Amino acid sequence: MNYQLSSSPNNLLGSITPEQLNQVIEAITEGRYSWACVLILRFIGYNPLHYIPQRTYSRLIKENRQVMNPPASTKQKLAVNMKSSMNSSIHRDSSKVLSKIN
């Protein structure tokens, strides 16, 4: 058998960034194979709706919305926790200095 390879596979390899590839690999390792397929189609420039039903695509988007964009409240909690831990360590250090002065 003879196969003719077009130049498109070479172009596909250059169009997926390392971050995008990490997203695809993460989806695969978590067992979310359909989502990985959607990501691949998106990243290489295809419309996933040309290949899967609208209902399936909508479900996948809904299920993976939390994975793609973590809630702002989570980001805010992390920022607050970091600030409070920094403040508590500053407070401890300053209280040690004050106790030595007294």
Per-10-residue mean pLDDT of the chain, 102 residues long, equals 52 76 96 96 95 96 80 52 50 50 56
CB 57 within 8 A of CB 65: no
Determine the pLDDT at residue 66: 77
pLDDT value for 53: 96
| Amino acid, res. 46 | Y
Residue spans of the domains in the chain: they are 1-69, 71-102
Residue 35: how many CB atoms within 10 A of its CB?
Answer: 21
Residue holding tokens 């994975």?
A: 67
Cβ–Cβ under 8 Å, residues 28 and 36? yes
